[in-house]
């Protein structure tokens, strides 16, 4: 197995007003290809910050962030955007679909950045929607879909460009138990059958149970669920 994510001595702080908040401190983490990792921890522990660093939408103050073979701290803004388009799929707690676009066009968004033809894009979009069982709702706008259906569309959007890694920030946080179960089934299936590496932030222990590895983040430090400090 090769490491898709390799974080080495990562530190990150934020400034809130006059206060400097140390969010992550000399953190190390490795995620192997195909792993499904759940990140847990109390609010403010740095889970989302860690996820953002892995997804390349935030930068560390120090340390090395190597994801899908690329040292992200060395990439400029434009190269980082290109890298995200090629390697990362995002799933957010509140779905973050474009309200004015149909499910089809929402899923198509990442493919607009590729050189695929219209018909190739259509094939990929249809396949992604079929994977999340949303083919029948392709023409529906987000407002015409339930929360669970919107999250399925969001997962299709995250998967459509065949990313190396899927980063999910509380993907079931806004859903009822049944819907959450269906979304977790879907993520498990993606991990198992597509071999996509998944890093998921969650507060829900039942959701974390679906992962192949559970990590606990507290006060900027990482622990495994059972064995204490992860690294």
Partner 1 sequence: MKFVPLIWAGLWRKRTRTVFTLLSIVIAFVLFGILQGVAAWLSGFGSASGTHRLYVVSRISQIQPLPSSYLQRIARIPGVHQVAEIAALVGSYQQPSNAVVVLATDPRRMFELYPEWQVPQNQLQQLVRSRTGAIIGARLARLYGWKVGDVIPIHSSVLKNDGTSDWTFEVVGVYDSPEQPSETDRIIANYEYVDEARHFERGTVQAFIVDIDDPALAAPISAAIDAQFANSADETVTQDEKEFIQGQIRQLGDVSTLVNAIVGAVFFTLLFLTGNTMTQSVRERIPELAVLKAVGFADWRVTMLVLVESTLLCVIAALLGLLAAAALFPATAALGIAGTSLPPKVFVIGLLIAIALALASGLPPARRASRLQIVDALAGR
Nearer to partner 1, 89 or 148 (CB): 89
Residue 213's contacts (CB-CB under 8 Å, 6 or more residues apart) are 35, 36, 37, 38, 224
Nearer to partner 1, 19 or 77 (CB): 77
- Spatial separation of the C-alpha atoms in residues 18 and 10, rounded to whole Å: 23
Check: CB of residue 153 under 8 Å from CB of residue 142: yes
Nearer to partner 1, 121 or 214 (CB): 121
Check: CB of residue 159 under 8 Å from CB of residue 190: yes
Smallest gap from residue 223 Cβ to partner 1 (A)? 24
Nearer to partner 1, 170 or 214 (CB): 170
Buried b (16+ CB within 10 A) or exposed e, 132-169: bebbebbebbbeebebbbbbbbbbbbbbbbebbbbbbb
**CA angle 48–82–24, rounded 5-degree value:** 25
- Spatial separation of the C-alpha atoms in residues 53 and 42, rounded to whole Å: 18
Nearer to partner 1, 103 or 214 (CB): 103
Smallest gap from residue 175 Cβ to partner 1 (A)? 19
Smallest gap from residue 92 Cβ to partner 1 (A)? 7
Check: CB of residue 52 under 8 Å from CB of residue 60: no
Nearer to partner 1, 201 or 210 (CB): 201
Q: β-strands 221-224, 88-91: how paired?
A: unpaired
Smallest gap from residue 97 Cβ to partner 1 (A)? 8
Smallest gap from residue 3 Cβ to partner 1 (A)? 23
Binding site for partner 1 (CB under 8 A): 52, 55, 57-58, 77-78, 81-82, 84-86, 90, 92, 96, 98-101, 105, 109-110, 112-113, 118, 121, 157
Smallest gap from residue 124 Cβ to partner 1 (A)? 13
């Amino acid at each position: 197995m090769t490491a898709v994510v390799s974080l080495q001595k990562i530190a990150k702080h934020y400034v809130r007003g006059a206060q400097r908040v140390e969010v992550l401190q000399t953190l190390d983490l490795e995620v192997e290809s195909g792993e499904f990792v759940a990140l847990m921890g109390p609010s403010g522990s740095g889970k989302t910050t860690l996820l953002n660093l892995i997804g390349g939408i935030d930068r560390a103050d120090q340390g090395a962030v190597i994801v899908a073979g690329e040292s992200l701290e060395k990439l400029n803004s434009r190269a980082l955007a290109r890298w995200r388009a090629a390697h990362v799929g995002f799933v957010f707690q509140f779905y973050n679909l474009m309200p004015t676009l149909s499910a089809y066009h929402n899923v198509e968004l990442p493919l607009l950045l590729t050189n695929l033809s219209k018909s190739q894009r259509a094939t990929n979009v249809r396949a992604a929607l079929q994977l999340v069982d949303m083919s029948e709702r392709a023409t529906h706008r987000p407002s015409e879909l339930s929360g669970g259906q919107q999250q399925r569309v969001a997962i299709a959007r995250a998967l459509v460009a065949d990313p190396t890694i899927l980063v999910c920030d509380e993907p079931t946080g806004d859903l009822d138990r049944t819907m959450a179960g269906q979304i977790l089934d879907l993520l498990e299936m993606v991990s198992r059958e597509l071999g996509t590496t998944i890093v998921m932030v969650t507060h829900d222990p039942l959701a974390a149970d679906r992962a192949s590895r559970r990590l606990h983040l507290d006060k900027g430090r990482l622990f495994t669920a059972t064995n204490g400090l992860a690294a």
